[in-house]
Structure 1
Amino acid sequence: MPMEIEFRPGRVDADEGAALAQGMRDELFEIYDGLRLDGPDMPKAGPEELSPPDGSFLVGWSGGAAVCCGGLKRLPDGACEIKKMFVAPSARGQGVARTLLHALEDEARRLGYAVARLDTGPKQPHAQRLYESEGYREIGNFNDNPVATYFAEKQL
């Protein structure tokens, strides 16, 4: 049975949202041999991009603990990009990532987006499998992410 999660607006640079986003940065730093997500060559996904009116950042709560996060940012062509999806290690294997993806898609629809895009890297095959199982279809490199090898979109 999937974990019950309550999603609330958060900030990528404050409180539990910042702690989860830092956990994601630390994990990717290990997985990708020193990758710095906030480096100059990486797509931007900070507080400016992941805040209203065109963006959003959600924190998922279960049992009083923040267990996941993810954000949306507007792309130049009017689609949105899902960014900073992260599930705390203690909450993995319980359907949280899928629940988070659905919450982000719902938030994108609420903000008026008709298309969601995302990417992931070669050392995260589980993420690619999740996205494919949820109807994302591979497209070309839309965001110049130098690490990603899988780029996809879904009609919302």
Structure 2
Amino acid sequence: MTDTPTVTFQTVDPRSPDAVACLQDYYDELARRFDTGFDVNLSADPDATDMLAPRGAFLVAYAGTQVRGCVGVKGTDKGYGEIKRLWVSPEARGLGLSKRLMDQAEKTARTLGIATLRLDTNAALPEAIRLYQTTGWTEIDRFNDDPYPDFFFEKNL
């Protein structure tokens, strides 16, 4: 993809075929990039059930019929929601899609009544850290016991 593609965003069930394919590519990439590997079953919501309506949402980005990225909005009972599983396919990197996915996730969170979002990320993902640092997220102390993250951020919507 050399031109900026026309991208559409759809809210889907995280167990749908497109979401599962997107998430598997994401998990495979994390397993390659993290020194410790990656196992989604060690996360707090491995089945992404907190990313289902009415509690949360899972968004998939499409260029035509091709899945190009995803992001989840996880509802919680802790006074904040979480951004989870932001991923952009290698074919769509460098086109600003991660920022567009985050913008869509923030809009979705607002419609769900979520006023504060948190997220975590790993030091092996410097592009994600840069995105959060440059789009209004504030670094905060650890807020969960997931085994993989090194950095934690929060944003008031």
Q: What's the TM-score once normalised by structure 2's chain length? A: 0.92
Cα distance in structure 2, aligned partners of 1:71 and 1:45: 12
Superimposed CA distance per residue, residues 26-85 of structure 1 (whole angstroms, 9 cap, x where no aligned partner): 00011114221222xx22142411101111101111122111111111223221000011
Q: Specify the alignment match of 2:140 in structure 1.
A: 139
What is the aligned-residue RMSD (CA, Å)? 1.4
Superimposed CA distance per residue, residues 72-131 of structure 1 (whole angstroms, 9 cap, x where no aligned partner): 112232210000111111111110001001000000001111001111001011101101
2:35 paired with 1:29: no
2:32 paired with 1:19: no
Paired residue secondary structure (1:52): coil
Task: Say whether the 8 Å CA contact 1:3–1:95 is kept in structure 2.
Answer: no
Cα distance in structure 2, aligned partners of 1:27 and 1:66: 16
Paired residue secondary structure (1:141): coil
One-letter amino acid matched to 2:15: D
Alignment of 1:73-92 (within 5 A): 73-92=74-93
Q: Which runs of 5+ in 1 are unaligned?
A: none
2:61 paired with 1:55: no
Alignment of 1:91-130 (within 5 A): 91-130=92-131
Q: Specify the alignment match of 1:149 in structure 2.
A: 150
> How many percent identity over aligned positions?
34
One-letter amino acid matched to 2:23: A
Q: Which runs of 5+ in 2 are unaligned?
A: none
- In the TM superposition, structure 1's runs of 4+ consecutive aligned residues that sit over 4 Å from their partners are none
